Structure 1
């Protein structure tokens, strides 16, 4: 439960149709197994205490009494389990029969939730036996059941954890999800962050994919966790086959899935993240007065994480999906630049080409924009500006890249201009301080701006999102442009985008692909300090830390507003084999210090296209005072060493 994580499971017991005693034993055995694995919330299938396929046996008093007695047995057998479980059974009330979920915890029946949408088409004939529970609730719907004097029977019930209020549970049953207006819409509006679906969905060809999309889509629409527990082996009878298709989804992401088996499907849900997302989205309705909420208690503790935490949250791990994402990002950025060039009537686009990753991606995007404008690549002016730290490798790669793209190349050595400037301000050439570095960066920007003026053009910025987060940019140097195409692309993604183009061009233009591959192999560096024996002497990641860590921090700090403690925990989960705790802490402190101290650079950024869920534009997603203190965040890190 610490850090907002709760371990949840969908379970499929092996049942016998109409054998309530056997089914009760199967259910509480599965509950005990779940508890042993640390599960705190468990969903079991629809009508699992009787079997879904009982047919006209549902009208038999013996079966209904057997189901109620079975629930009482389960309550007694599991009263020491620190867990909330929802399981299905039929319930009689006022001459009607309802298909219900019994929500239980520590031997107490918290409530009965009836199914709202009763299917009566195809292979389903539920209306023959069951009534809709849509209108149940309020006075008169507290009934004696399973040994308890008064149990609420209502489709509007939600169940709230007193120790973890962000964990509020709602329940719907099978067809309820497939309906045009699922009960989960109302339950989420009442504060439910986790929806349990008790299902008995038979299997037909292609149905699993649709079921998967429904569950994941509903979790995205409602910004919730969604646990779908399906009937399986033992339920199949007559004309229907059930495969136990269990699903766990969170805000559109499928966390766990299992088919063709009985047993448990387990993962962890981050209810704090769900609660944050709902606060962030002003279109999500505020929770009502929660008159239908029922409280339950769970012993606080640390949830062991088994869910996959990607070390590259900005980059899909699936190769096909990654390629599709890369293509989409390049097109989005190129369309933004196309609009700017078109709107301003710019005759050229000017790019400072260093032979590094960022400027390489910028010119690749610019080339796509020119193609969209049906203009020649020669309208791109690529300017390479060697100075004290420039190596032959980066200079030659810049020249080769411009040539392969068909851009107009200009080579302007800025060394003498920078020396004259240093002479004017009294800066020693032997003093390799920040003035020595930034003087070169600002001279390069001046050259680019003036060339743009000469040629009726716009300067295309090359700085990426990671550099903006860390403030790793020279104010009014590479910090400034007329349109920053990389502004919302983090460094790790920059690398994948260039790699994608290199692979895409391998057959069409082998020499272009080769130069891109060599650029990818070049250490990340601003090349502002003199080279040593012709090699790069200044490696960015030695100074500010690994970009893979900083991009990970950036995603969870900005996109999800996670506190330092939780960011550290997730980083250890994702990078535990590459970095020890002390190293992660060191660079996390660096990130917070730089992120807060460098906001003033982000407060006056040039325009740039938003391509993903994280951007630091002061006009878009990120509004932060330039002089905010990092004290609270750094103090929390101090307690974690």
Structure 2
């Protein structure tokens, strides 16, 4: 018997956008029904949006979610199909993250989440309570606005499953798939054949493989059909939810949605044969375990998921039919992920903030270059969608460019569209080089940005002269005989003034061009510089948002190499070969400022330190012991100790900068973002006397396998 199963969607929901979220949900249900589907599954908390955060604690959020559900229940779209919909529910004064299963203006079951995500970017225990009564249910009394539609006073709430005329399906909610004892195991042993998973899973470089393997494994031993729905887009915060909706059967993926897309609604369908699940489960060992499985309460619904005849199945949906070749899962390379993920995030942020474009201080270095190329990638995606006739993208582009009254304008050329909405500026000083100025100009021409080139020496001199006038002392650079304090202060003057100038130009450039509104300022500090604290507080790393703040320098270089070919931008080669420099100190015959020299460590080393500190949860001593094994063949224990102590000292004394870090696209597992992801103090005993003394003690005792002799570092160098 053929079963047309539709996974709908990867919806692009927006926190607290109840009207927009309702429209997208109804659109997805309509598309699912049009394709003949009888089961529709949406992403986690799709009615209010997943990223409401502390708004989940407000009664208004729950009230409006019920109001939206009432409209869905009343709609013609929701008739003749079973829908799995996400929203918060208050039961006995406890807030739960729930799935509400509906059919023909009735609520069949409210299934609360049992295992909550509460690490990294997630704080679900701050808002919700897990359902602790496994395989148990209770009566939930419905609000009157729902009673008026369903004519029900109470419905089951708890850990139960839905029994249709032809099969049985159950809910596994997002994080529950990632737990060691996932609910699908016990449900499957009790005869549940279809599992729905509604997720709010964010994008992180190289993360998708883990998710896919878990989905495949869920039914490989157990047998069954797994329907995975995930949000796609920027929900209003640092995260980009990367969709990739999937249908897997007996451990094989048979349908996959896009991972990065500008679509507001995407529906994934597949036709499956439930008899293949039953055949897969006909194993003696599985049957023995199933015979002893604990029972789930079944909510019965007089409705069949099967179409009854294969004649009812559309030809395009037959690609997912069991018995045909499995789908090869599509993975993007990390370079492609950088090109697509932040670009989609930038588009959502731009269209939803209702601003007129982006402004970027373009320094001629690889970080601002990468930021500019990501904006250009966004323009390419917009142009591709416009050429396909995407009405929503075209409407948003017209509004942003001020052409909303002109029904003719189509943003079909990425360079032309970039010239309208992307503004770049080279802010030179006497310490800037002709090479960086040339590279910035050439890049702006290649991608089409509206470019401004200026010298800000008079502004810098004015601040320097003001200080001299007030104090009677004139600070000098180190190369001119100044102290370290003078040298740093003079660098910071330039950096901070760039931030002030950036915001002035962002507010007024549209006016200069005869347009209204303002621009969002883009930051371009990478994750490694933030980790090390190699940035000036409130300099031009301070911005509205930062698309590369969670991406390592190593990955950014690979992305630029990829974009050089994929986007046909030969100018990018000059950025790849340039030495990273802040250009804040005078260039002399014997000295050119270098980022890695200033930091005392390479960008590759910073990536290693970042992963050990955050991902592997290592303090100074355990970082040292791990690196002795990893680096011991080319560095002595004492040299490794010096590097470890320098990193932790610099990270600790600069940690306060993370409290003001520009909101950044989350892409890396070792992001130092103080405000959401990396919850650590910002005032440290930065010399770590106990930890560093232990490192020195062990380093002196360990044999040197590197073939060279290190020396004990002079501790005064890090003071």
Larger radius of gyration: 1
Query: What TM-score do the two structures reach when normalised by structure 1?
Result: 0.48
Query: What TM-score do the two structures reach when normalised by structure 2?
Result: 0.43
